Structure 1
Amino acid sequence: MYIGEYLFWLSSAIKASSRKKMKMGYFNGDMTLSEVEKDYTKQSVSNNPRPIGPYYAYNDRYLEIRGGMFENFRGILTWLCLLFFFFSFSACYAAIAFTLDIYNHKTIQISSTIFAIVFFSIIFLFSLYLLIRYFRYVYRLELFTIRHIRVRFNRVTQQVYIQRPKYCGGTVVFKWQHIMPANFGESGSDMGGTNMVNLLSFHPYKTGFPVAHSVGIGKNTYCAQDYKDEWEFIRRYMEHSPDNLAKPRLSTHLPLPLHGLGGHIKPMLKMVKNSKSVLVTMMMLPVFVILLPLYTAGYFISECLCWQPRWPKVIRQAGKAGKPTPKETQLSDYPPAVQQAILDSRLEWGVRDDKTGKLVDYGNS
């Protein structure tokens, strides 16, 4: 579920030595000067602002929407992780069962039972080591982590707060004026038909942070206009007021069995709709009957095995009379090793002059 956020943060915060071992190169994220100088919060992109959501909060002070990419694939990794857990703890159960057989004198084949105890104990201990040492980097993407990434837009402080797991960059704070839509307009391209969420970014040219931060918000969609409509809804809320906007239906943070149904069923319905072959449509029936319930159950299990943490107190109180404004995220907020890794990646975010094509020195080199 958080694989997109994890990979993006990893590409910006991985040590140079680790990058070399993994044979990871640096990418070119250069943008033009006109793209990064533009204030995207002032330009209207739609005449039909719509709250597509899901939204968790909406009032005169802030609105809060679900963040995160690849939410529609949530549940697949959960089943794979549970299968590994089942294998590991089945070995533990077998070792304990054989031990109790000897203790309760239920077996006369002592030597073979002792061999079985040793064999299953080794399997359990080895798999447990793999779980703790390596596999935690896999299962934490969907299990025993933050239930949902949340993005809060505070219209009083004119700030954007992003709540993410620490291994994806942690909670960050940026100015609203620094936000850049990435799915349309000058900073991106029309991504209609790609089944993506609405992507927003904060470029270092604006924020002063050495690398860019990006976050996906809302639901996956095949319609390019959905991106613009929801962005316009948020933009008008932040720039004007919520008075003339439709109040969104609020979702719960709690896990519900049907939360994952929409995210999985829409791509399948899209495939059936676009298919002109009856054979392909017939082949999709087993997917609906068998895989869809598995996906939905996996999504629900993932939600149940995660938790939704509270925002830091300074963010919860932001915008209230007499309360401090949260400080923007800075490089010094991270450990020294991560700071150095981020600095090593800062050259990826170059800005080029529109006329000459040469790199602009904006203090990031």
Structure 2
Amino acid sequence: MNFAEWGFWQAMLETDEDRKNDKEIEKKYGLKEIAAYEYEDDESQKEAQQRASETPRTRGPVYALDQTILEIRCGMLEAKRGLVTLFSLAIITFASITTLFSIYFLARMLNQLSSQTPFDFFATIPIALYSTIAVATFGIYFKYGYHLSRLEMFTSRHLLIRFNRKTQQVYLHRPSYCGGIVTLPWKGVTSSGSSENTAIADGIGVPLLLYWSPRVTGTLHPEGAWVGKAGNNQAELRDEWEFIRRFMDEGPQGLPRPRITSHFPWPWQAFTPQFEGLTHYFRRASRTTKVGLLLICPAFLIIGLGHWLSLLLCWKPRWPKLIRQAGLPGKPIPPLTTLADRPPHIQERLRANAHLWTVRPGKRPEKKPRRRRGKSEVGQS
């Protein structure tokens, strides 16, 4: 499911009016904007160049690995896809059935007229009724629901990230509504698996995050990618990151050979992701909780079915020829993505919002300790 990536890209393009509404929500719920500083960004980049684990391994899914490239599945909520597909297919099926009913009654009326049967006005009622329902359902769906369906279906089957050792570049494969295909430099990347300072939620239930600040991207906004499976702990994410780091900095020699996954949508590729990042909870859960989890297994099967249907209704992602040939002898190195590569209206929004992502110089100012009022001061007030 591409919901997180779609939301991230929409935040990059948000209008001033939407931004104003966001600030009102932040003020209402006491949320504060966290600014980024150069010192922290530099430290995160340095930590990403250091060894993070002694047991590098990737849990995949890995789609390609050789002396030049490493390609892994991306996506923050990839394991959760399925519900949107089920709801979308239910709406499409309902609208299709009403369309068939209207066609059936229309054909029956035309057959009666051809047999010189007297015209029956009431025969037009079911035709008008079912046609109205079908047109209204399809109209509302394509206006308000189709763009949500494309977060799981009628789009690329997976988000991908490709690492190229020869060019020292990283390529992100995403639909256009999630930021599109971009080329980023390897140098300057930061990772949630490189240190405790950059860890997220102790690695439980989230994939490995790779992040490029606006200082690195050159596109006036940051870029990010959630790589691989959701983690059960921070150690798994450190191992995953160390596998990627060693591949890019030292080569595939000495790294454990991962299982290469096919792009074909086999059923088990849809059902097993439902349990990604849950081993931590299963091991520590009480007996009552484990029984409850067994009772809701049918729900996992239903979501898994929706996941599989979403994979069947998508197509295999394909890289541009320039990226496919990158690193081969005599082939050009893909240029890094710049602001000029975006359409004019996208460039306008990115320029307008550039100040929101600007990395501030120096260090983050230290928080001033809050002065606690003494009893005498309280009494005087």
CA distance in 2: counterparts of 1:35 and 1:109, whole angstroms: 80
Aligned to 1:15: 15
1:295 is the counterpart of 2:303? yes
SS of the aligned residue for 1:227 comes to helix
1:155 is the counterpart of 2:162? no
Aligned to 2:41: 36
* 1:6, distance to aligned residue in structure 2 (A): 0.2
Q: Which has the larger radius of gyration?
A: 2
1:86 is the counterpart of 2:93? yes
Distance 1:200 1:267, change over 3 A: closer
* 1:336, distance to aligned residue in structure 2 (A): 1.4
Aligned-pair identity (%): 32
Whether the aligned pair in 2 keeps the contact of 1:61 and 1:319 (CA below 8 Å) is yes
Whether the aligned pair in 2 keeps the contact of 1:75 and 1:299 (CA below 8 Å) is yes
Whether the aligned pair in 2 keeps the contact of 1:174 and 1:207 (CA below 8 Å) is yes
Match for residue 60 of structure 2 among 53, 78, 88: 53
Match for residue 351 of structure 1 among 359, 364, 375: 359
1:235-254 equivalences under 5 Å are: 235-254=245-264
Match for residue 230 of structure 2 among 211, 217, 220: 220
SS of the aligned residue for 1:222 comes to coil
Of the structure 1 ranges 152-161 and 174-183, higher mean CA displacement relative to structure 2 is found in 174-183
1:88-107 equivalences under 5 Å are: 88-105=95-112
SS of the aligned residue for 1:153 comes to strand
Whether the aligned pair in 2 keeps the contact of 1:54 and 1:250 (CA below 8 Å) is yes
SS of the aligned residue for 2:112 comes to coil
Distance 1:91 1:356, change over 3 A: closer
Q: What letter matches 2:318 in structure 1?
A: R
* 1:190, distance to aligned residue in structure 2 (A): 4.3
Whether the aligned pair in 2 keeps the contact of 1:67 and 1:216 (CA below 8 Å) is yes
Match for residue 333 of structure 2 among 325, 328, 331: 325
Aligned to 1:256: 266
Distance 1:306 1:111, change over 3 A: same
Of the structure 1 ranges 124-133 and 23-32, higher mean CA displacement relative to structure 2 is found in 23-32
SS of the aligned residue for 2:187 comes to helix
Of the structure 1 ranges 155-164 and 216-225, higher mean CA displacement relative to structure 2 is found in 216-225
* 1:114, distance to aligned residue in structure 2 (A): 0.9
Tell me the matched-pair count. 354
1:102-136 CA distance string (max 9 Å, x none): 22339999333311111111111122222222211
Whether the aligned pair in 2 keeps the contact of 1:5 and 1:168 (CA below 8 Å) is yes
TM-score by length of 1: 0.90
CA distance in 2: counterparts of 1:187 and 1:7, whole angstroms: 25
Calculate the aligned-residue CA RMSD, in Å: 2.4
Structure 2: which 5+ runs fail to align? 27-31, 367-381
Distance 1:168 1:58, change over 3 A: same
CA distance in 1: counterparts of 2:365 and 2:118, whole angstroms: 83
CA distance in 1: counterparts of 2:349 and 2:248, whole angstroms: 34
Structure 1: which 5+ runs fail to align? 359-365
TM-score by length of 2: 0.86
1:127-176 CA distance string (max 9 Å, x none): 22222222111100001001001100000000000000000000000100
